[in-house]
Structure 1
Amino acid sequence: MDRLTQLQDAVDQLAQQFVAGIHFAHKRHDLEVLGPNDKIRSVKPEEENDVDPLPEEEFRAGLVELSRDLILKEQQIEVLISTLPGLDSSEKDQGQSIRELEEELKAAEEQRLDAIREKERVTKHLDEILKSVKRP
């Protein structure tokens, strides 16, 4: 698997971890007021399943674990990014590298065309030999 595919997979996984973290916080929080003007609305019976609070210690431990996972995935992404080619090269260096690759490609194309001409020459010569052979 190439580095860009690994990077894309890691970014997708990070996005999934963000969603999982938000889902966990939304579903497992305890209803509590955070400020003096906050009010907890009454929960309708059909909405009771929306929140299944955990004890505070378990909820905090879950948040810590999710946070660590996010940090680890972000660090993995940083490592993948640092291994991408071209990060240490200036635009001028990358341009020079592209020009060198273009020259190599031109040389390889010329070799390919030479090989095709040689094949056609040999095929023509073989045809002449076969035509000159007489049956007994």
Structure 2
Amino acid sequence: MPGLEDEQSVNMDKLTQLQDCIEQLLLIMKLAVVQLVQRSDFKQVSPDIPVTKSRPKDKIDSPQKFEENKRELVADLVRKAKQIELIIESLPAPEPEQAQAARFEQLEQEMQKVNEEYQAAVERAKRLHKEITAIFRELTNAENTTF
């Protein structure tokens, strides 16, 4: 069934693309968290709790740069999420149970037929092996008697 194999190949390619995109999305998320944490300074969130630590100024982005980076990271996340959504939408809908059952039944019948053909081929090979072995024995016996 070349059509089925081609369809499965295309679907596996899509699943591989989906897996790659999800991994890329997770990487973007990780890098976003790292970027936002490492390139910002500590801020006081309560008047009762003072900030006791700060980052070097050359390691901190300006507020404008920080906002620009946030927007870029969000755009990257949204772009990758849309790409994932498109891949998911392109995947085929799951088959109804009756269709799956019919397909499995058909595959089972095909498998039984192929197995019967295989068994017949094995039996034929065994018969041929016996015939060839018998011929070789006759030849070696004939050779031994002529000497």
Structure 2 counterpart of 1:102: 108
Matches of 1:80 and 1:118 in 2, distance apart?
Answer: 49
Taking the aligned partners of 1:91 and 1:74, their CA distance within structure 2 comes to 30
Contact kept in structure 2, 1:25 and 1:63, CA below 8 Å:
yes
RMSD between aligned residues: 2.8
Measured against aligned partners, the alpha-carbon deviations of 1:31-81 in whole angstroms (never above 9, x if no partner) come to 567xxx84473233xx525x9431222222211221121122222222333
Letter aligned with residue 55 of structure 1: S
Q: Call closer, same or farther: CA 1:83–1:127 in 2, change over 3 Å.
A: farther
Deviation per residue, 1:14-47 (Å, 9 max, x gap):
11211111122222235567xxx84473233xx5
Alignment of 1:44-83 (within 5 A): 44=53, 47-48=54-55, 52-83=59-90
| Residue in structure 2 matching 1:43, options 46, 49, 52 | 52
Alpha-carbon distance in 1 for matches of 2:86, 2:22: 12
Aligned residues of 1:28 and 1:52 also touching (Cα < 8 A): yes
Structure 1 residue runs without a partner (length 5+): none
Q: CA deviation at 1:6?
A: 3.1
Question: Taking structure 1 as the reference length, what is the TM-score of the superposition?
Answer: 0.74
CA distance in 2, matches of 1:113, 1:88: 35
Distance in 2, Cα, partners of 1:116 & 1:84 = 41
Match of 1:6 among 3, 17, 36: 17
Q: How many residues align?
A: 129
Question: Which amino acid is 2:61 matched to?
Answer: L
Give the secondary structure class of the aligned counterpart of 2:55. helix
Q: What percentage of aligned pairs have identical amino acids?
A: 28
**Structure holding more helix per residue:** 2
Contact 1:29 1:54 in 2 (8 A): yes
